[in-house]
Structure 1
Amino acid sequence: MVEIITIGDELLIGQVTDTNSAWMGRALNNAGFDVQRITSVSDKKEEIQEVLEKASQRAKIVLMTGGLGPTRDDITKKTLCEFFETHLVFNEEVFNDIQTFLKGRVKNINELNREQALVPEKCQVIRNSMGTAPIMWFDYNDSVVVSMPGVPSEMKQVMTNSIIPRLKQKYLPGIIIHKTILVHNIPEAVLAEMLTEWEDGLPSEIKLAYLPAPGRIRLRLSARGADAELLKAKIFKAVDGLIPIIGDNIYGEEDLPAAEIFAGFFRNTGKSLALAESCSGGYLAHLITSVAGSSEYFKGGVVTYSNEMKNRLLGVNEEDLSNYGAVSKQVVEQMALGALDVTEADYAIATSGIAGPGGGTDDKPVGTVWIAWAAAGKRVVSKQFSFGKYRERNILRTSETALIELMQLMKKGDL
Structure 2
Amino acid sequence: MQQVFASIITIGDELLIGQVTDTNSPWMAQELNKTGIWLKRRVAVGDLKEEIVHALDEQSKDCQIIIMTGGLGPTADDITKQVLNDYFGGNMVTDQRTLEHIRYLFEKVYRRPIIQRNLEQADVPDVCTVLFNERGSAPGMWFERDGRVFVSLPGVPHEMKGLMLKEVLPRLQQHFTMPFISHRTLLTAGVGESFLAEMIKDWEAQLPPHIKLAYLPHYSMVRLRITGSGASKEKLENDLDQQFAQLKQLVAEHMVVDEDKPLQQVVGDLLKQRHKTMATAESCTGGYIAHLITSIAGSSDYFKGTVVSYANEVKENVLKVSHDTLIQDGAVSESTVRQMVQGALITLNTDFAVATSGIMGPGGGSETKPVGTVWIAAGNKDEIVTQLFHFRFDRARNIEMAAINALNLLRKFIASH
Give the TM-score taking structure 1 as reference length: 0.94
> 1:79 Cα shift?
0.9
> 1:95 Cα shift?
1.6
- For 1:186, give the aligned amino acid: V
1:163-242 alignment to 2 at 5 Å? 163-242=168-247
Q: Which residue of 2 aligns with 1:118?
A: 123
Q: Which residue of 2 aligns with 1:147?
A: 152
Cα separation, 2, equivalents of 1:10 and 1:405: 40
Q: Which residue of 2 aligns with 1:286?
A: 291
* Contact preservation (8 Å) 2:281, 2:354: yes
Cα separation, 1, equivalents of 2:390 and 2:410: 18
Cα separation, 1, equivalents of 2:361 and 2:113: 56
Q: Which residue of 1 aligns with 2:254?
A: 249
List per-residue Cα deviations over 1:262-300 (Å, max 9, x = no partner): 222222211121222111111112222222222222222
- For 1:281, give the aligned amino acid: G
Cα separation, 2, equivalents of 1:344 and 1:141: 67
- For 2:133, give the aligned amino acid: N
Deviating more after overlay: 287-296 vs 308-317: 308-317
Cα separation, 2, equivalents of 1:401 and 1:254: 19
- For 1:211, give the aligned amino acid: L
Calculate percent identity across the aligned residue pairs: 45
Matched, 1:258 2:252: no
* Contact preservation (8 Å) 1:354, 1:365: yes
Distance 1:311 1:326, change over 3 A: same
Matched, 1:24 2:28: yes
Q: Which residue of 1 aligns with 2:376?
A: 371
Matched, 1:382 2:386: yes
Cα separation, 2, equivalents of 1:22 and 1:195: 28
Matched, 1:343 2:348: yes
Cα separation, 2, equivalents of 1:166 and 1:309: 58
Q: Which residue of 2 aligns with 1:129?
A: 134
Q: Which residue of 2 aligns with 1:101?
A: 105
Distance 1:364 1:198, change over 3 A: farther
* Contact preservation (8 Å) 2:12, 2:45: yes
**Equivalenced residues, count:** 412
Cα separation, 1, equivalents of 2:376 and 2:38: 43
- For 1:160, give the aligned amino acid: L
- For 1:318, give the aligned amino acid: H
Distance 1:358 1:174, change over 3 A: same
SS of the equivalent of 1:53 reads: helix
Cα separation, 2, equivalents of 1:195 and 1:341: 45
- For 1:302, give the aligned amino acid: V
Cα separation, 2, equivalents of 1:89 and 1:295: 52
Cα separation, 1, equivalents of 2:315 and 2:121: 62
Distance 1:114 1:317, change over 3 A: closer
Matched, 1:276 2:290: no
List per-residue Cα deviations over 1:226-257 (Å, max 9, x = no partner): 22232222222223222333223211222222
Q: Which residue of 1 aligns with 2:163?
A: 158
> 1:59 Cα shift?
1.5
> 1:321 Cα shift?
2.5
Q: Which runs of 4+ in 1 moved over 6 A?
A: none
SS of the equivalent of 1:116 reads: helix
Cα separation, 2, equivalents of 1:319 and 1:74: 64
* Contact preservation (8 Å) 2:94, 2:123: yes
- For 1:84, give the aligned amino acid: F
Q: Which residue of 2 aligns with 1:69?
A: 73
* Contact preservation (8 Å) 1:345, 1:376: no
Cα separation, 2, equivalents of 1:226 and 1:317: 66
Cα separation, 2, equivalents of 1:130 and 1:110: 19
Q: Which residue of 2 aligns with 1:81?
A: 85
* Contact preservation (8 Å) 2:141, 2:151: yes
Matched, 1:60 2:64: yes
Cα separation, 2, equivalents of 1:118 and 1:341: 64
- For 2:117, give the aligned amino acid: L
* Contact preservation (8 Å) 2:270, 2:414: no
* Contact preservation (8 Å) 1:101, 1:130: no
Cα separation, 2, equivalents of 1:207 and 1:112: 50
> 1:351 Cα shift?
1.1
* Contact preservation (8 Å) 2:264, 2:292: yes
List per-residue Cα deviations over 1:302-341 (Å, max 9, x = no partner): 1222333323332323333233222222221122122223
Q: Which runs of 5+ in 1 are unaligned?
A: none
> 1:184 Cα shift?
1.2
* Contact preservation (8 Å) 2:379, 2:410: no
SS of the equivalent of 1:47 reads: helix
* Contact preservation (8 Å) 1:357, 1:389: no
SS of the equivalent of 2:61 reads: helix
Cα separation, 2, equivalents of 1:299 and 1:256: 22
Cα separation, 1, equivalents of 2:234 and 2:331: 54
SS of the equivalent of 1:349 reads: strand
SS of the equivalent of 1:163 reads: helix
> 1:221 Cα shift?
0.8
Distance 1:301 1:57, change over 3 A: closer
Q: Which runs of 5+ in 2 are unaligned?
A: none
* Contact preservation (8 Å) 1:206, 1:224: yes
